[in-house]
């Protein structure tokens, strides 16, 4: 089974509503929620995979009813308590008790530009050679689930699970989210762009030549 974030292919969501380029946020609290999340990331208490999983692990009811940045804020609060940076009592009282030991890691205004510019690359040097090359046929794992942690994070969408595709690109060796999201190590693996024919994943493909391409790690794939 999957989680509510895994919605690729789902029916019933209605029209996509285009938007002017100069609309960046839709409410005053949206940019604040974004900035709080980014600033707290600098405390070094979690990685991007942990934070993605925190959003995905919201109750399905909350995931569905929360606006985009509400998910961010909810996950942020959960992670801050999980890591001990804040206590549940502090959240409940809306008052911080005393200064944190982590305060020295606080992101300052003067460091923002450098931190955003530095990014957080996910590629790693790794001796494991890629098993597949462009043109190779591969079968995607049948289950869109984390194979180590029950209910854990994975980046294999349900709509693609079990399909046969072909490698179109090698991306190098990248941190494995399925491991990193659970603080089990980065476990880097070769990462590939894999093309699936629309006709192989949808009962009613729009066009015989259309494709969906996903970025998938070596352990998601087997030779086909």
Distance CA 177, CA 219 (A): 11
The only residue of 19, 133, 135, 223 in contact with another protein, by rule CB under 8 A: 19
Asked if residue 75 binds another protein (CB under 8 A), the reply is: yes
Q: Which residues pair with 167 in a beta bridge?
A: 194
* Smallest separation, CB 180 to another protein (Å): 11
Distance CA 187, CA 176 (A): 6
DSSP string, 143-165: S-S-SSSTT------TTTTT-EE
Asked if residue 25 binds another protein (CB under 8 A), the reply is: yes
Asked if residue 15 binds another protein (CB under 8 A), the reply is: yes
Nearer to another protein, 138 or 212 (CB): 212
Nearest to 198 by CA among 14, 4, 8: 8
* Smallest separation, CB 45 to another protein (Å): 10
Asked if residue 215 binds another protein (CB under 8 A), the reply is: yes
Distance CA 91, CA 96 (A): 8
The only residue of 44, 134, 147, 169 in contact with another protein, by rule CB under 8 A: 169
Asked if residue 100 binds another protein (CB under 8 A), the reply is: yes
Length of the chain in terms of residues written: 224
CB-CB contact of 105 with 83 (8 Å): no
Q: Within 33-72, which residues bind another protein (CB under 8 A)?
A: 33-36, 38-40, 43, 48, 52-59, 61-62, 66-70
Asked if residue 106 binds another protein (CB under 8 A), the reply is: yes
Nearer to another protein, 100 or 222 (CB): 100
Nearer to another protein, 53 or 167 (CB): 53
Nearer to another protein, 97 or 147 (CB): 97
Residues 7/116/66/154 CA torsion (nearest 10 deg): 30
Q: Which stretch binds another protein (CB under 8 A): 125-133, 135-143, 156-164?
A: 156-164
CB-CB contact of 189 with 215 (8 Å): no
Asked if residue 164 binds another protein (CB under 8 A), the reply is: no
Q: What burial class does residue 108 get, using C-beta atoms within 10 Å of its C-beta: 0-12 exposed, 13-18 middle, 19+ buried? A: exposed
The only residue of 136, 211, 219, 222 in contact with another protein, by rule CB under 8 A: 211
CB-CB contact of 188 with 171 (8 Å): no
Asked if residue 199 binds another protein (CB under 8 A), the reply is: no
């Amino acid at each position: 089974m999957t989680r509510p974030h895994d919605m690729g292919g789902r029916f019933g969501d209605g029209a996509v509503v285009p938007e002017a380029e100069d609309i960046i946020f839709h409410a005053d609290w949206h940019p604040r929620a974004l900035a709080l999340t980014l600033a707290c990331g600098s405390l070094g208490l979690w990685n991007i995979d942990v934070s993605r999983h925190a959003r995905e692990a919201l109750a399905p009811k909350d995931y569905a009813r929360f606006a985009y940045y509400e998910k961010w804020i909810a996950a942020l609060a959960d992670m801050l308590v999980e890591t001990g940076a804040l206590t549940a009592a502090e959240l409940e009282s809306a008052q911080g008790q005393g200064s944190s030991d982590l305060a020295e890691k606080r992101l300052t205004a003067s460091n923002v530009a450098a931190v955003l510019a530095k990014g957080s690359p996910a590629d790693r040097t790794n001796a494991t050679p890629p098993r597949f090359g462009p043109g190779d046929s591969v079968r995607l794992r049948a289950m869109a689930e984390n194979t180590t942690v029950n209910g854990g994070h994975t980046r294999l969408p349900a709509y693609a699970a079990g399909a046969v595709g072909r490698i179109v690109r090698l991306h190098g060796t990248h941190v494995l989210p399925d491991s990193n999201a659970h603080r089990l190590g980065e476990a880097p693996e070769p990462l590939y762009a894999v093309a699936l024919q629309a006709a192989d994943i949808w009962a009613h493909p729009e066009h015989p030549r259309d494709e969906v391409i996903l970025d998938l790690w070596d352990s998601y794939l087997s030779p086909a």
